[in-house]
Amino acid sequence: MAQIVQRPAATPTTHCTPDQYDALYQQSLDDPDGFWLEQAKRLDWFDQPTKGAEWSFAPPDIKWFSDGTLNLCHNAVDRHLGTHGDTTALIFEPDSPDAPGRSLTYSELYGEVVRVANALKAMGAGKGDRVTLYMPMVLEGVFAMLACARIGAIHSVVFGGFSPESLAGRIEACDSKFIITADEGLRGSKRVPLKANIDAALDQLDAPVTGVLVFKHTGADITMTEGRDHWFTDLASDDDCPCEVVNAEDPLFILYTSGSTGKPKGVVHTTGGYGLWAATTFHYTFDYQPGEVFWCSADIGWVTGHTYVTYGPLINAGTSLVFEGVPNYPDHGRFWDVIDKHQVNIFYTAPTAIRALMREGDEYVTSRDLSSLRLLGTVGEPINPEAWRWYHNVVGKGASPIVDTWWQTETGGHMITTLPYAHDMKPGSAGKPFFGIRPQLVDNDGNELSGAAEGNLCITDSWPGQARTVYGDHDRFHEAYFSTYPGKYFTGDGCRRDEDGYYWITGRVDDVINVSGHRMGTAEVESALVLHPKVSEAAVVGFPHDIKGQGIYCYVTLNAGEEQSDELQAELRQWVRKEIGPIATPDMLHFTEGLPKTRSGKIMRRILRKIAENDYGSLGDTSTLADPSLVDSLIEGRQNT
């Protein structure tokens, strides 16, 4: 029986009490259009929508608020100028505690965003154009996102840790003609050569990138290509730059994410539905109160950064902290210093960071003043109860509720989450569905499982923040999310529902692994490995990792005549790093003479997963293998890896 941790008592300003949750949730299911058209008043519209949802999942065709027009930059910035012009919009905390930080008001944010928007226009960017952002975690990244929204351009943010190869693929896939970057990024005192990576990416592309806008950050010496590359300061202007009027269904952004097959998918989110989802989930899940400092530690290169660094907080006229650095530089107390220094009230981070910091001992936490904290959140992977308790007791002093928020790049924002003053907490459970969300558990044949049960997690009805398509490939959208269980959105996650209706995510059930809260397709790592001239075949699976949640385990067979060696092992690690980026670096690399295959040649990943997990007792039926004797040599190889 899971231990229950009681929620704190509601206060007069609490956004959602237990009774309100029950009533609102019921209403959101009974009358979705009525509910969401009412919630839509959180946004400013040029044309208030009268239509709610128009959708089908078979095949997917999804629209929300299709007769509404708006602009999300107007919602995040301009509309606050009269009432919150002097409110702090953003706080910047640099990589090094000795470097200067910055904080700016909504009025100042307006000026910055207009300057970037004008620079984009000067390069020729406009409504509907794709703009690739490859930025450090600095305020200019947020300005750039908002500037795109302002002119109706579609941003595609690529995480600064991705390699030139990955970057090139993402620029090409959405045919992006404009790029926004900086000379370099900083992470834990290490320099990330962003502009040089852009140059390397563009060198491999025939793609007609016509404008690269460059922010000066570290002042590094970089190469500027005449006619194509522009310093931001050369193009910026304070000219009037009105917000473009866009339809609710016009795309706001594309974000590439890994799936179980092929190249990363460009998930498309639209302006109205996504904007409302960001606004509503931020308001309720974090119970955000005016004046509070909210800090989401995610990079804007991930969806968490999109929704809860940029859009959610700013649409709600909140104060959002942007942190450039890492949790362990200059020491393991850096997160807690930032909370202390900026009097952070709400802190949102990933279990992997919590586990890594927990391992360093309580002293780093207890030596800082964290009394400003009111609420804590986690996201990205299941949190083990031990880490949950440490977060709750040591960081939160037992007083701050924890919201465990389950969602995905495709969902736009929170889907299943504890609401801080409405639900008691169960460490390790993401809690209950958000308004409008109908989760369903199904068995492998797609039969619905009722009551307390464990199965594959689907969502049966559309919600405003749902992704609408995969950029340029609607069939792939259909295939990836709506074909496994026809008529339902399949999340790719396994999940248990307990007797109280709480949901416990058990992890991915497809060939996607979750490394430090980042999604990695095993197929992508395999493709990178087999590109190496000495590699014949590769199979990649996840295995339990103390800090990362899951690590990357690679089985590799070499071409005839190639020698297995420690040097080659190191070289292959480096190779994957270079092909995809540091986040894909293999944790384990296991040379084997062969891969376990059925007689028809299909790799039996189930066996590879078990061996990687060091779990040999339950290998199941191996008699269908073409060469059953391979299993013993794989087990032996596992012990030597």
Binding residues for ligand WT7, per CB under 6 A? Answer: 257, 303-304, 379-382, 404-409, 430, 491-493, 505, 508, 514, 517, 519
Assigned token pair, 530: 């087999």
Question: Binding residue per annotation — 393?
Answer: no
Give min distance, CB of 257 to ligand WT7, in A.
5
Residue 505 or 576: the one with the smaller Cβ distance to ligand WT7 is 505
Question: Binding residue per annotation — 100?
Answer: no
Question: Binding residue per annotation — 96?
Answer: no
Q: Are 373 and 401 in contact (CB under 8 A)?
A: no
Give min distance, CB of 353 to ligand WT7, in A.
13
Counting Cα atoms < 13 Å in the Cβ hemisphere of 267 gives 23
Give min distance, CB of 248 to ligand WT7, in A.
23
Sequence-separated (6 or more) residues with CB below 8 Å from residue 237: 115, 118, 119, 122
Give min distance, CB of 536 to ligand WT7, in A.
31
Question: Binding residue per annotation — 407?
Answer: yes
Q: Which of 166, 164, 171 is nearest to 254 (CA)?
A: 171
* Residues paired with 229 in a beta bridge: 212
Question: Binding residue per annotation — 27?
Answer: no
Give min distance, CB of 328 to ligand WT7, in A.
21
Q: Are strands 211-215 and 229-231 parallel, antiparallel or unpaired?
A: parallel
Question: Binding residue per annotation — 405?
Answer: yes
Give min distance, CB of 253 to ligand WT7, in A.
14
Question: Binding residue per annotation — 483?
Answer: no
Question: Binding residue per annotation — 304?
Answer: yes
Sequence-separated (6 or more) residues with CB below 8 Å from residue 276: 36, 39, 40, 42, 43, 64, 65, 464, 465
Question: Binding residue per annotation — 84?
Answer: no
Give min distance, CB of 133 to ligand WT7, in A.
18
Q: Which of 470, 468, 465, 481 is nearest to 412 (CA)?
A: 465
Question: Binding residue per annotation — 188?
Answer: yes
Residue 199 or 287: the one with the smaller Cβ distance to ligand WT7 is 287
Report the C-alpha dihedral over residues 130, 136, 138, 142, rounded to 10 degrees: 20
Q: Which of 259, 467, 493 is nearest to 485 (CA)?
A: 493
Sequence-separated (6 or more) residues with CB below 8 Å from residue 383: 351, 354, 391, 404, 427, 428
Give min distance, CB of 535 to ligand WT7, in A.
27
Question: Binding residue per annotation — 508?
Answer: yes
Q: Which of 553, 588, 550 is nearest to 351 (CA)?
A: 550
Give min distance, CB of 522 to ligand WT7, in A.
14
Q: How far apart are CA 243 and CA 117, in angstroms?
A: 10
Q: Which of 412, 320, 345 is nearest to 77 (CA)?
A: 320
Question: Binding residue per annotation — 330?
Answer: no
Residue 164 or 264: the one with the smaller Cβ distance to ligand WT7 is 264
Q: Are strands 251-257 and 154-157 parallel, antiparallel or unpaired?
A: parallel
Question: Binding residue per annotation — 322?
Answer: no
Give min distance, CB of 126 to ligand WT7, in A.
30
Residue 197 or 429: the one with the smaller Cβ distance to ligand WT7 is 429
Question: Binding residue per annotation — 438?
Answer: no
Q: How far apart are CA 539 and CA 569, in angstroms?
A: 15
Residue 144 or 430: the one with the smaller Cβ distance to ligand WT7 is 430
Q: Could you give the 3-state DSSP secondary structure of residue 383?
A: coil
Residue type, 2: A
Residue 57 or 110: the one with the smaller Cβ distance to ligand WT7 is 57
Q: How far apart are CA 417 and CA 287, in angstroms?
A: 13
Residue 303 or 321: the one with the smaller Cβ distance to ligand WT7 is 303
| CA angle (86 as vertex; 80, 90 as ends), nearest 5 | 80
Residue 176 or 257: the one with the smaller Cβ distance to ligand WT7 is 257
Can you spell out the DSSP letters for 97-146? TTS--EEEEHHHHHHHHHHHHHHHHHTT--TT-EEEEE--SSHHHHHHHH
Give min distance, CB of 430 to ligand WT7, in A.
5
C-alpha to C-alpha distances, 112 to 145, 161, 218, nearest whole angstrom = 12, 25, 19
Residue 77 or 133: the one with the smaller Cβ distance to ligand WT7 is 133
Residue found under tokens 């009027």: 245
Residue 380 or 596: the one with the smaller Cβ distance to ligand WT7 is 380
Question: Binding residue per annotation — 80?
Answer: no
Residue 345 or 491: the one with the smaller Cβ distance to ligand WT7 is 491
Residue 45 or 348: the one with the smaller Cβ distance to ligand WT7 is 348
Give min distance, CB of 541 to ligand WT7, in A.
16
Q: How far apart are CA 556 and CA 577, in angstroms?
A: 16
Annotated binding site for Mg(2+): 530, 532, 535
Annotated binding site: 187-190, 304, 328, 380-382, 404-409, 493, 508, 516, 519, 530, 532, 535, 577
Annotated binding site for ATP: 380-382, 404-409, 493, 508, 519
